[in-house]
A and B are shown apart, each in its own frame.
Chain A
Amino acid sequence: QVQLQESGPGLVKASQTLSLTCTVSGGSISSGSYYWSWIRQPAGKRLEWIGRIYISGTTDYSPSLKSRVTMSVDTSKNQFSLKLTSVTAADTAVYYCAREQLWFDSWGQGTLVTVSS
């Protein structure tokens, strides 16, 4: 069974860049017709989809975040990554990575990222 694990700084200063990596284990990131997504959840709010990437490097981003988001994939390391620029307090959230096939069938446990002023 595939497992996903988010990693990265838990504290980011306002106006800087948030960078997270998701490591996939128990299966190859290159196998199957899956997309790999990032999703976040601010405290007390609903989940928000950030974007997704395919192993070819094709990406789709949420319109509300598109100008600040970049995703990449490293098949040799079985990882995919998220960069979110110019962060503000509104970007404070638990960030999840997930495997997607029009629904999200595997999720990481999530990592809290706090944006400080």
Chain B
Amino acid sequence: EMVLTQSPVTLSLSPGERATLSCRASQSVSGGFLAWYQQKPGQGPRVLIYRASSRATGIPDRFSGSGSGTDFTLTISRLEPEDFGVYFCQQYGNSPLFSFGPGTTVEMK
């Protein structure tokens, strides 16, 4: 069974700083089908990145994704106040068909 782990659990940063979030898979993610999401309290998640490095519609270019195989990274180049929240990764293709990471909380320092 595919398991995703994320690090760090919590990232304490100030606006304007760079955030680097990691997602590691227990098996190679087939086809690079790895997505990143942002979630705010009381809301459904919002997709930021799909297929490891493609930005979703309307997502600012300060968000970027990279990686392949089992190691993936989400980078926020300069944090804006609205960027604080929970980020999680998701893979497609291994059993189960979809699985999610536990999340990284980006909090204001």
| A contact residues vs B (CB 8 Å cutoff) | 4, 37, 39, 45-49, 52, 60, 62-64, 96, 98, 100, 102-105, 107-110
> For this complex, into which size category does the number of interface residues on chain B fall?
20 to 34
Give every chain A residue within 8 A of B102 (Cβ-Cβ).
45-46
Q: How far is the CA of A110 from the CA of B90 in the complex (A)?
A: 18
Q: Which of B43, B47, B51, B97 contacts A49 (CB 8 A)?
A: B97
Given contacts A62-B96, A102-B92, contact A109 B50 (CB under 8 A): no
Beta-carbon nearest neighbor of A51 in chain B: B97
Q: How far is the CA of A62 from the CA of B94 in the complex (A)?
A: 11
Choose from B50, B95, B97 the contact partner of A103 (Cβ within 8 Å): B50
Interface of B toward A, CB cutoff 8 Å: 33, 35, 37, 42-47, 50-51, 56, 88, 90, 92, 95-103
Q: A96-B44, A109-B42 are in contact. Are A102 and B50 (CB under 8 A)?
A: yes
Q: Is the CB of A104 within 8 A of B45?
A: yes
A-B contacts, 24 listed (Cβ < 8 Å): A37-B98, A39-B98, A45-B102, A46-B100, A46-B101, A46-B102, A47-B45, A47-B100, A49-B99, A49-B100, A52-B97, A60-B97, A62-B97, A63-B96, A64-B96, A96-B44, A96-B45, A103-B35, A103-B51, A103-B90, A104-B47, A107-B45, A108-B44, A110-B44
**Majority SS at the chain A contact face:** strand
> How far is A62 from B43 in the complex, measured between Cα atoms in Å?
24
Does the CB pair A109–B47 fall under 8 Å?
no
Could you tell me the distance between the alpha carbons of A60 and B93 in the complex, rounded to whole angstroms? 12
CA distance A107 to B50 in the complex (A): 15
A42–B11 Cα distance when bound, in Å, is 23
**Contact yes or no, A46 B96, CB < 8 A:** no
Taken together as a complex, chains A and B put the C-alpha atoms of A100 and B98 apart, in Å, by 11
